[in-house]
Structure 1
Amino acid sequence: MSRGRVVVIGGGLAGITAALDCLEAGFSVRLLEARPRLGGATYSFSRGGLQVDTGQHVLLRCYTAYLRLLDRLGVGHGVRLQRRFRVPVLAPGAKPAVLTRWNLPAPAHLAPALLAHSRLSWAERARLARTALAMRSLDPQDPALDEISLGRWLGDRGESPRAVDALWGLLGVAALNAEPEHASMALAAKVFRTGVLDEADSCDIGIPQLSLGALHGEPALRVLREKGADIRLRCKARTITRSGDGFRIPIREPAGETAVPADHVVVATPHAAASALVADLPVSGADQWHRLSAAPIVNVHAHFDRRVADLEMAAVLDSPVQWVFDRTRIAGAGRGQYLALSQSAAHREVEMRTEEIRESFVPALRELFPAARRARLLDFFVTREPNATFRQAPGTAALRPAASTSVPGLVLAGAWTATGWPDTTEGAVRSGALAAEAVDVQQRSRRSVEVTA
């Protein structure tokens, strides 16, 4: 017997997790997704024989909730985790450097990454070590840290602009989708403590070996249906209204418009869509969610007619390129080499025309990889994510709502909610788990009241 009807609005990682957890807790679940697939912003499409991911996602070993979700979906094998953190760092005209770690207790594991960072002077490397120790003592939950930026905090400790670019920014921009001067120090402390400083192996990088569609949306649809969920694709929820002790949700599907009932609703959409959905309900703080704003990511795709780079991934300094990934095998390229470039905090690039981006990035690739100068481009294209994350700036912690709302039965999920994590796949999955937990707690409370009455 079902413990109640849960409607989950949104089929991204947060909604998938919430739906799975609610099913396993004994609820009947209906999941509404406006797109023709699950997976949210993490999806793939076909182009010229390539299976292209909209964004180049990586993870860290400390992404425990996300890794568990992949196991539950039966695709844990679809991610390869490094045995030991290793990131090549390239720069035009310079010998490649490598950031790596030792198999020693934290924070001594970082010694080789600091000592061997040839792009910095010995004085800068020594200062980096002192700054890392200082950051390790910070509490990411300290509200005062959310009032300042990572850039300001580093500057107060004497970090040079070069050190900020070569290490703190190199990792921080990718994790927070924000330049150091615009990134919340509280979220930066979470990234660097949990992801780099607290445990020796937490920073080991995981790289998907499947397309995002095969890793998220397709297995989630199969598993949820096997567990009894009612999945409605191409189904747009228009709003949420109260109906007796529960809710009524008008929806629009290809077959027409109707409404679905619910005892509990999990809103697992981006914050802008969530604001619109709850507009008719007295949800405390919803009028402030728009202040979370958005930050873009741009992905540049270059398919050459031959192999031009001998790497799986690399970070890049002193170039328009930030991170480069070899996606040839995973994308199913039948010839040549397919490189994907991930550009975070891409406020400039998101407004540029594709030809402008090509004029900037193709010469940059040929400067980084001399073999590319003799190669012919088979294809070049750009995918843009204008609202890839919320803007993870100082002051955002107070704007991120908890899973439970001021409306009984209405619960929130999404990486933008108060998970304690930045806007990542790990944050999204944790938010879904928190939402399902809130549904369970509220249902137990409701039953307790009924029994008492």
Structure 2
Amino acid sequence: MVGGGLAGVTAALDLAEAGFAVELLETRSRLGGATYSFQRGDLVVDTGQHVFLRCYTAYTDLLRRIGARDRISMQRRFRVPVLSPNGRASLLHRWNLPAPGHLLPVLLDYRQLTAAQRARVARTSLALRMLDPADPALDEISLGEWLRQHGESPRAVAALWGMLGLAALNADPDDASMLLAAKVFRTGVLDRSDSADIAIPQAPLAQLHGDAAHRALLAAGAGVRVRCRARAIRRAGADFHVFAKEGGNSREFSADSVVLAVPHQAAAGLLADLPVPGTATWAGLSAAPIVNVHLHYDRQVTGLRMAAVLDSPVQWVFDRTAISGATHGQYLALSLSAAQEYVDQRTEDLRALFVPAVQQLFPRAREARLLDFFVTREPRATFRQAPGTAAIRPDARTPVPGLVLAGAWTGTGWPDTTEGAVRSGARAAEVVAADLRERHGVEVTA
């Protein structure tokens, strides 16, 4: 198992619990992949603010299996305050009615849109419910193009469709695949009344994913090697040899099967010595950045736990005071998706932009003292989920028997999310188990 993110952890846990001998190699000093934390003063900081939805069933099940399910907080009903610097606040929420009746509050009193715009949203929602999220033709157009074809106004795109789609797809509507957007809006919003209820981790990601997964894998009998970087994978007869660097020493591992659960750029490099077609096309998946702006005030400036923001450089704001272990004041994190314009900007420039923007949203911030301001950047937070990517995303099974791919970038049908990563890991484990049964007659115990 090469890679200890959510995909690799899931595949390793599935296979170990099924009775296979598993060795997991992870380059970093801990598991969890891109979801990790670090210490800054008295704050435990996540590199990015992660939330997920009730429809993320595979991810939620993984949290249960590693003993971390009780460290999340799930809304009883979807509820998101929507702020604007012009003072026009509103609320996106649902009723406890069967879908699509649960969305009536959006159509009746979402004050960011006019009555005519809300009526158009209702018609567009019905059209969305008729789409097949597996229809490859949808991957030929963007979400923005599809919305314009259905008469959505620029304001409705910005204040509703784009606001939600940007957070889910890490792409502006005109850069987002309609195939993935259909998956987001159907599975996450329209098909079930409770599917969009939001969950927020109540522990730092290093604890939620990394520490908990490490303990669960050891308990299942898997070997876990951190600070162990795979350098190459080669075939020798029916076996594989993984060449790695561990603690400054060269290592070589032999295996019947290899699950490669690393980002697509790294996967292509590791497969250079194997006859796996299409690796060059994976570069077309490219990458999209997420930037998080962190502000620690000496006092509370808002009573909101989270909010979406319109008409401002701020997109989403989260209160991370309790989660980070802050002993005083209030610590806010601003999550900025599709952050190409910010990822290379100097911290001083971002401070000049976002400190006044937060003061416009929360007047109490004008009187508060800013104890700390810093920025975390994830240049390759997700693959670029643009039209045309469905044909590039590979299946878990490769033409090389025993070599299996995993990662949210593979062909899961889901966007690049924690749910997609976990589902890819489960799929990889299924392929490995089936392949070993076929090659060696191995009986799976689970």
TM bin, normalised by shorter chain, reads over 0.9
Once the two structures are TM-superposed, the CA of residue 448 in structure 1 deviates from its matched residue by 4.9
Runs of 4+ in 1 over 6 A off after TM superposition: none
Match of 1:423 in 2: 416
Residue of structure 2 aligned with 1:193, choices 186, 195, 213: 186
Structure 1 unaligned spans of 5+ = 1-7
Residue of structure 1 aligned with 2:397, choices 399, 404, 422: 404
Match of 2:347 in 1: 354
Match of 2:66 in 1: 73
Secondary structure of the structure 1 residue equivalent to 2:294:
strand
Give the distance between the partners of 2:109 and 2:185, measured in 1 at CA: 19
TM-score by length of 1: 0.97
Once the two structures are TM-superposed, the CA of residue 95 in structure 1 deviates from its matched residue by 3.1
Matched to 1:62, the amino acid is C
Matched to 1:442, the amino acid is D
Superposed CA deviations along residues 65-113 of structure 1, whole A, max 9, x for unmatched, are 0000000010100111100000000000223200000100001100102
Match of 2:369 in 1: 376
1:190–1:20 distance in 2 versus 1, CA, 3 Å: same
Match of 1:440 in 2: 433
Matched to 2:76, the amino acid is R
Match of 1:139 in 2: 132
How do 1:274-353 and structure 2 match up within 5 A? Answer: 274-353=267-346
Matched to 2:287, the amino acid is A
Once the two structures are TM-superposed, the CA of residue 50 in structure 1 deviates from its matched residue by 0.1
Superposed CA deviations along residues 241-287 of structure 1, whole A, max 9, x for unmatched, are 00121101111011410211010000000000000011110112112
Give the distance between the partners of 1:121 and 1:427, measured in 2 at CA: 35
Residue of structure 2 aligned with 1:95, choices 88, 94, 98: 88
Secondary structure of the structure 2 residue equivalent to 1:396:
coil
Matched to 1:325, the amino acid is F
Superposed CA deviations along residues 375-421 of structure 1, whole A, max 9, x for unmatched, are 01000000000000000000000000011001000000000001110
How do 1:119-134 and structure 2 match up within 5 A? Answer: 119-134=112-127
Give the distance between the partners of 2:197 and 2:209, measured in 1 at CA: 21
How do 1:41-120 and structure 2 match up within 5 A? Answer: 41-120=34-113
Residue 179 in structure 1 maps to residue 184 in structure 2: no
Once the two structures are TM-superposed, the CA of residue 187 in structure 1 deviates from its matched residue by 0.0
Q: Does 37-46 or 249-258 show the bigger shift? A: 249-258
TM-score by length of 2: 0.98
Matched to 2:31, the amino acid is L
Give the distance between the partners of 1:114 and 1:328, measured in 2 at CA: 34
Give the distance between the partners of 1:94 and 1:358, measured in 2 at CA: 22
Tell me the matched-pair count.
Answer: 442
Q: Does 31-40 or 113-122 show the bigger shift? A: 113-122
Is the 2:106–2:118 Cα contact (8 Å) retained in structure 1? no
Q: Does 227-236 or 341-350 show the bigger shift? A: 227-236
Give the distance between the partners of 1:397 and 1:360, measured in 2 at CA: 36
> What is the RMSD computed on CA atoms of the aligned residues?
0.9
Give the distance between the partners of 1:264 and 1:106, measured in 2 at CA: 44
Match of 2:159 in 1: 166
